[in-house]
Amino acid sequence: MNFLAHLYLSGNNPEVMVGNFIGDFVKGRDLTSIFGKGIANGIVLHRDIDDFTDHHPVVKQSKNILWTTYRHYSAVIVDIFYDHFLAANWKSYSTESLDNYAANSYQIISDYRDILPERVNQMLPYMMRGNWLVNYSKIEGIQQALTGMSRRAAFESKMQEATSDLTRHYPEFQKQFDKFFPELKNFCDERREKF
């Protein structure tokens, strides 16, 4: 899953949201002594989400559609596609508008600037200016995200071409997301109860 899903699956706890948001930018296990309990819980939740997603049979079906063209980048692309379906169908998952949710999320993350990893602090202004969380709801927003990731990829990824696959297989990806995401949400709800 990508940024929007990680934030949404954090519930309403700001520290868990921040930890979940920065999870890809943090290494190591001694998280509580560095970030405190709430943010450490969010980082652990991020890792649990990634593990659950990576091993889920429905997600594997989505990756298989893309595998021939994108190989190991298929997983990254599916994460972005799934954020698109969450954003595009936001009213099915939240009573708060996506615009408000995104603005509140940007503010929460900004409030923790002092502890954010340097790469997150560098990325955040671009994310806010481009309103990534809202723009994931549009194919053009997904195109921009994938093009940016393609530029940063270590090897030839072709990720910038993947929106054509999203368009071509849209109903299939939508169906797979609709099957997978409620299971992931239930998993996260149960994990957060143990914090």
- Helical (H) or strand (E) element with 60: helix 57-70
pLDDT band at 78 (very low <50, low <70, confident <90, very high): very high
User: For the whole model, what pTM was predicted?
Assistant: 0.95
Phi-psi region of 116 (alpha: psi -120 to 50; beta: other; left: phi over 0): beta
Query: Is residue 25 scored above 80 in pLDDT?
Result: yes
Band (29; pLDDT cuts 50, 70, 90): confident
Q: How far apart are CA 140 and CA 162, in angstroms?
A: 12
- Note the pLDDT of residue 1: 80
Residues 39-58 pLDDT 10s: 999 999 999 999 999 999 99
